[in-house]
Amino acid sequence: MIELRTPTQIEQMRPAGRFVADVLTALQDKADVGVNLLELDELAHQMIKDRGAESCYIDYHPSFGASPFGKVLCTSVNDAVLHGLPHDYELQDGDLLSVDFAASVDGWVSDSALSVVVGTPRQEDLDLIETTTRALEAGIAAALPGNRIGDISAAIAAVAHAKGLAINTQFGGHGVGRTMHGDPHVPNDGRAGRGFKLQAGLVIAIEPWFLHTTDEIFTDADGWTLRSADGSRGAHMEHTVAITADGPLVLTRRA
């Protein structure tokens, strides 16, 4: 069921958005060569405790997950692009790290993700992150009352296709509110003018993710981490966006 939020409720969602943005900023600052993925997860866990927030991941067990997730972050490295289960791994020079984080504050959820290169970057990784970022901003710009879900999807896809990237539509954006995942689904490819008509009060996560040379993925033996079929690296960017009469309001925008 698609739910619309009142202007008052959208204001009540702002603290969750600010918190998620602050956590991702802290994680981006912390991520460095030699830092363990479990250290990143512990930092986020401590920030959740300090804020009195609630993790959206730790008990999360959808049909595609092998078991309850058990951590508060998704940390996807190199050929892993989504749902990376934090484990005992120290970041290496040149690693491409994607971090996805969602939390509830005062009963309202926000969800956001970013990708960074640790240490010495490869130019192709920087280019992939830049393309994914531009695709996210294009999707946000299309999140206007009167447009349709397909307009967001088409805007994201246009950026990716211009760079010759293939697009997987198994996982994409989604509604956000009292829970992390709700209707509508917001795929990263689609036809403009199609799908649900956007209205003020709709709150969605827009989240393009791309791989260098494929759109094929498989699930790692941990039952969660999604990896590219050909070993190519991936980038993932996401914001929680409220559609208002004045245009899109990005609740998880980082300073």
Binding-site residues for substrate sit at 83, 181
On whether the CB atoms of residues 84 and 31 are closer than 8 A, the answer is no
Helix (H) or strand (E) holding 206: strand 203-206
Q: Hey, what are 45's tokens?
A: 């866990």
In three-state secondary structure terms, 24 is helix
Mention every residue, 6+ apart, whose C-beta is less than 8 A from residue 42.
none
DSSP structure string for 134-194: HHHHHHHHT--TT-BHHHHHHHHHHHHHHTT-----SS-EEE-SSSSSEEEEE-SS--TT-
Residue (of 158, 140, 238, 237) closest to 198 by Cα position:
140
Torsion over CA of 57, 60, 62 and 65, rounded to 10 degrees?
A: 80
Q: Looking at residue 35, what DSSP letter applies? A: -
Binding site for a divalent metal cation: which residues? 100, 111, 174, 207, 238
Q: Distance between CA atoms of 1 and 128, rounded to whole angstroms? A: 34
Contact 239, 252 (CB under 8 A): yes
Extract the annotated binding site: 83, 100, 111, 174, 181, 207, 238
* Residue that has been written with the tokens 């926000």 in this structure: 110
* DSSP 3-state of 46: helix
